[in-house]
Structure 1
Amino acid sequence: MNNTQKYDFIAIGSGVAGSTAVIECARHGLKTAIVDNKPYGGTCPLRGSDPKKILLGAAELYDWFSRMKNTGIINGDIRIDWQNLIQYKCSYTNNIPMKVEQSLKKMSIDSLSGNAEFANENTLKIGDKFYTADNILVASGSVPTKLPFNGAEMMSSSDDFLSLKTLPDKIIFVGGGFISMEFAQAAARAGAKSIIVHSGERILLGFDKELVGLLNKAAQESGIDIIVNNRVSKIETDGDTLIAHLSNSEETIRADMIVHGAGRMANVYNMNLETGNVAYDSGGIKVNEYMQNTSNSSVYAAGDVTDSEGPYLATVAAMEGRIAAENIIHGNKRKPQYENIPSVVFTIPTLASVGMQEEDAAKAGIKYNSRFQETSDWFTSYRVGEKYSGYKIITDENNTKILGAHLLGPSSEDVINLFTFAINRGITPEEMKNMVYTYPTASSDIVYML
C-alpha cells in the first residue's frame, strides 16, 4: 500500500448522513474526504424525497383542481404530461451532484468517486488507490429488500419509477408502505391504473389505523386498488406484459410494470467489511449508543446502514451523522434521541404522525384519553374540497400531557411539527390550546383538537 493518502476522517456515502458528518469535521479543522460510487447528493435529493415531492406536487395540483370543479372552477379539464413532468424533475436533480461537489471543494473536503472497500481497519481501497484515516464513517444508506420468489428480479425499483420517461398504463406496487402509497398517488393522477398488493392486514402500519382507513377511502376513490392480506408469489412474462401471481388465491394480475415497495434494508454490500473488522449483520452495521462500531472503534456509522433504533428518515440520518462527527471530534459524549420523531407519508391527503399511538400507550400500561374526529366539514378541508380528513390526539388520563398526535388532511405535514415541539418541550394541552394562532389556517385548528 505504497503512496497511501492520509486523512483525519473519511465518509463513505454522500447522502445527508455522510455529508453532514464530513462538513462538521471539516469545520473543526480535520483533513477530510468523502467517497461515493454514485453521483454526489445521496438518495434524498436525487432518488428519494425531493424528486418524489416534485411528482406529487403535480398530482396534488391535479387533485385540487378535480376537487374544486363544483366551486366555480370551469376552465375545462387538466391532465399531467408525464414526460414534461419528468423533465422538470430532472432540471432539479441533474444539477445537484455538481453543486454538492462545489460546496465540498469550498470547504477543502476532497470528493472521491468509486466503490470504497476496506483494506484494513483504517484503510479504504478505491479503485487502485488507498486512503487511510483515523476515523471512517459508513453512511452507505439502504437498498430494496430482497424478496424470495421467482421473478423478483423483474420488479422495478423506486429509482426506475422516478426515471420513467413514459408512464405505463398499469402498474402494480408491491408492499403497502411509504413508497407504494406515494408513487401510486402520482401514477394514478397521471392516468395509470395503480394497484397496491400488501401482505399485511392494513397498509401503513406505523400510522393510526382509523386515519389510514380514511386514507384508504380517498385512495380507492382516486382509482387506486388496494389488495391486503395477500402477496406476490411469482412474476412471469407474457411478451411485454408482466404477470403477478398472488399467494392467497389463484388470481393473477397483468401489468406493464411492477414496482418494489416492500421495504428496504441496510446497504452493507461490496465494502469488504470483514477485512475492516466492522461488525454487521442483516440488520446493518452494529453501533453502540455513540454511533461507533462495536468491533472497530475507528469506524462509526450513521443513517439507514446502521442497526440503530432510528427509522429510515433523512432527518434521522442527518442527526446521526452530526452526532457521529461530534463524538469523533470531542470524544464519545452525545447519544441520539429517537423518541417523538415526526413522520409523514405524502399521500393525497397527507398523513402525519408523532408520538404514541393508542396501541403504544396500552402496551406501556399508560392510562390515556384518545380523541378522534373526522374534519371534512371543517373550514380547512371544506375550503379545498377535501372529503377525507381527520385527527386523533392522545393525552394522559388527566389531560395534562400530549402523548401523540395523528393528522390527515391539508397542511398536516406542517402542523405535525407544532405537536412535535409541544410533546418534546412538555407543553400541556391547555397551554397549546390557549396559544393565539394566525387564522384561518390549518394550525389554528389545533385549538379545536385539544
Structure 2
Amino acid sequence: MSFDYDLLVIGAGSGGLAASKRAASYGAKVAIAETDLVGGTCVIRGCVPKKLMVYASSFASQYHYAEAYGWSAIQPQFSWPKLIAAIDAEVNRLSRLHISLLEKAGVDLILGHAQFVDEHRLQVGDRQVTAAKILIAAGGRPIKLPIPGGELAITSREMFHLPEQPQRFAVIGGGYIGCEFAGILRSLGSEVTQIIRRDRILQGFDQELREAVQTGMSQLGVQFRTGVTVERIDQTETGLQLSYSDGSQQIVDQVLMATGREPWLEGLDLDAAGVAIEGRRIAVDAWSRTNQPHIFAVGDCTDRVNLTPVAIAEGRAFADTEFGQKPRQISYENIASAVFSQPEACSVGLSEEAAKAEYGEERIRVYRSRFRPMFYTLPQAEERVLMKLVVETESDRVLGAHMVGKDAAEIIQSVAIAVTMGATKADFDATMALHPTSAEEFVTMP
C-alpha cells in the first residue's frame, strides 16, 4: 500500500515539532497537523508567556530595591493591557518562526483537526491523509473541578487573555501553575488568595523546599487558605463568591482553577485506529510505541513526565529510532524541574524523603545552607535562599539538589549535569568556588 506520507504527526507542539523536523532531516516525507497556533502549550499558553509575566511582575520590587543602590525614587505605573498585548505579539512571532522552521525542514503543515478514520488514514480538516507511521503529540489540557459554578472560573489557558488585571484574585490548587500565577498577580499588586486542600503547596517536591516557598509567598503577601475546598462559585453583583467547605465565603474578581491537567484526546477517535488507552492517557512502551506497531505517542498525551524538554527529547528519540537507524530510549531519571514561583524553586534528583525511603534513613546525609543573597543586603530585604544536597553516604553520591531563591533554575541547570553524571559530594567539594555568588554555596557546604 502506498501512503501520502512516511510520517504524519498530530500536534505541532514541542514533541511534534521536534519529531517532525528530525524525521525530515533523515529524508522522510513528513506532515504535521495542527488546529491552533503552531508551538503548542509551552509557546502559546504555557512556559513562554508565563515566564514573560514573571519577568513583568519582578519589576515591582526592582524599582524599590534600586533606591538602596543610589537610584532616585520614582512612582512606576503598570499597564496590564500593554503587557497582554506585548505577550500576544511575542507568542504570534514565535508561532510564525516555528512555521518557517517547518518549511525549511521540508515538513508540510496541514491546518485542521486530525481524526482517525482507520489505522493509517486520518481526516484532517476537509481532506483525508494516509501515512505509513503516525505520531500522536496532541498534548494536554487543564481540567476543572466538577463543582456548581465551576464554569465561572478560568484555567491557565485564559490567563493570558484577561482584558483587565483582577484586583481580587483566587487560585484553587497548590501545584506549580497555581503558585506561579499567585506570585505573578500578587507582585503586580492584586490581593491573592491561594486555596489548597492540604497544609502545604507543591505536593511531591522536597518537604523543606515546599516550606521555604510557602513561607516566601506568605511574606510576599499571598494569603493561604489551607485544609479547605471550594464547594461552589456564584456570580454576585460585587464579584464571584467562593463558598468554602468550612462554611466561610469570599468575594473575588477572578478565580483560577489550577487543579491539574489531562491528556487531550478528545476528537482523535483513537478507537477507529485500535489505539489502547490506559485511564486518561495513551499507553506506550519505552520506545513511545502504542499497541499498534506503526502508531506512536509522545509528550503530555502519554502522561509520563509532562515537561517541554521531555517531550522534545521523546520526539527526537522516536525520529532517531524509526527514521535515523539510531535506536535509543529516554531516561526519566534526574530530570530537573523548576517552579517560577516567587520565590523561585528548582530541584533535580531525589528529595530527602524519597532518598530515605529508597536507601534507608541511616544511609542519607543532608547538607544545607540558608542565607540572604548579596543582592538583597543593601535593600535589607527579607529574601532568603535555601540550598540543599541529598547524599548517599556509602558511595558519597549526590542523589538530589534543591534550591529556593533568586536564580534557582539557572543555578540548578548546571548542578543537574553533575547529578546526572553521578558526581559525589567530594567532587562538589573539590570544585573551586566562584566568589561572590550564591551558586558557590553548592560547593562549599561543610
| TM-score tier after normalising by the smaller chain length | over 0.9
| Unaligned runs of at least 5 residues, structure 2 | none
Map 1:173-184 to 2 at 5 A: 173-184=171-182
* 2:418 alignment partner in structure 1: 422
Identity of aligned residues (%): 28
Q: 1:228 to 1:338 in 2, by over 3 A?
A: same
1:331 CA displacement:
6.3
Paired AA for residue 382 in structure 1: T
1:208 CA displacement:
2.1
2:244 paired with 1:250:
no
2:93 paired with 1:95:
yes
C-alpha distance in 2 between matches for 1:389 and 1:43: 31
**Matched position secondary structure for 1:274:** helix
**Matched position secondary structure for 2:192:** strand
CA contact (8 A) 2:262 2:303 kept: no
2:351 paired with 1:357:
yes
C-alpha distance in 2 between matches for 1:49 and 1:206: 20
* 1:408 alignment partner in structure 2: 404
2:305 paired with 1:305:
no
1:411 CA displacement:
1.5
1:121 CA displacement:
0.7
Map 1:317-328 to 2 at 5 A: 317-328=311-322
Aligned pair partner of 2:377 in 379, 382, 385: 382
1:140 CA displacement:
0.8
Q: 1:289 to 1:331 in 2, by over 3 A?
A: farther
Paired AA for residue 125 in structure 1: Q
**Matched position secondary structure for 2:289:** coil
C-alpha distance in 2 between matches for 1:67 and 1:210: 27
C-alpha distance in 1 between matches for 2:94 and 2:161: 16
Map 1:39-438 to 2 at 5 A: 39-67=37-65, 69-239=67-237, 241-247=239-245, 249-293=246-290, 295-308=291-304, 310=305, 312-330=306-324, 333-366=327-360, 367-376=363-372, 378-379=373-374, 382=377, 385=381, 387-398=383-394, 400-438=396-434
1:53 CA displacement:
0.9
CA contact (8 A) 1:62 1:79 kept: no
- Deviation per CA, 1:311-350, whole angstroms, max 9, x where unpaired? x211111111111222222569322111100011011221
Higher alpha-carbon deviation: 158-167 or 237-246: 237-246
CA contact (8 A) 2:370 2:386 kept: yes
C-alpha distance in 2 between matches for 1:382 and 1:397: 36
C-alpha distance in 1 between matches for 2:403 and 2:82: 33
- Deviation per CA, 1:51-95, whole angstroms, max 9, x where unpaired? 111111021222233345445444133343212211221221122
Q: 1:176 to 1:69 in 2, by over 3 A?
A: farther
Between the two proteins, the alignment pairs up a number of residues equal to 442
Paired AA for residue 38 in structure 2: Y
Higher alpha-carbon deviation: 314-323 or 65-74: 65-74
1:123 CA displacement:
1.1
CA contact (8 A) 2:197 2:227 kept: yes
- Deviation per CA, 1:231-263, whole angstroms, max 9, x where unpaired? 11211111362111112x001121111112111
Q: 1:270 to 1:166 in 2, by over 3 A?
A: same
C-alpha distance in 2 between matches for 1:165 and 1:190: 15
CA contact (8 A) 2:232 2:243 kept: yes
- Deviation per CA, 1:337-371, whole angstroms, max 9, x where unpaired? 11100011011221111111111112113310012
**Matched position secondary structure for 2:444:** helix
Aligned pair partner of 1:442 in 434, 438, 442: 438
CA contact (8 A) 1:381 1:410 kept: no
2:16 paired with 1:22:
no
C-alpha distance in 1 between matches for 2:231 and 2:64: 37
CA contact (8 A) 1:287 1:307 kept: no
- Deviation per CA, 1:259-289, whole angstroms, max 9, x where unpaired? 1211101111111111011111333100011
**Matched position secondary structure for 1:94:** helix
CA contact (8 A) 1:5 1:130 kept: no
1:190 CA displacement:
1.6
**Matched position secondary structure for 1:449:** coil
Q: 1:383 to 1:35 in 2, by over 3 A?
A: farther
Paired AA for residue 305 in structure 1: C
CA contact (8 A) 2:26 2:324 kept: no
Q: Please report the TM-score for the alignment, with normalisation by the length of structure 1.
A: 0.93
C-alpha distance in 2 between matches for 1:33 and 1:380: 50
Q: 1:127 to 1:387 in 2, by over 3 A?
A: closer
| Unaligned runs of at least 5 residues, structure 1 | none
Q: 1:81 to 1:109 in 2, by over 3 A?
A: same
- Deviation per CA, 1:364-383, whole angstroms, max 9, x where unpaired? 1331001233212x536536
Q: 1:449 to 1:85 in 2, by over 3 A?
A: farther
1:290 CA displacement:
0.6
C-alpha distance in 2 between matches for 1:182 and 1:402: 28
Q: 1:71 to 1:215 in 2, by over 3 A?
A: farther
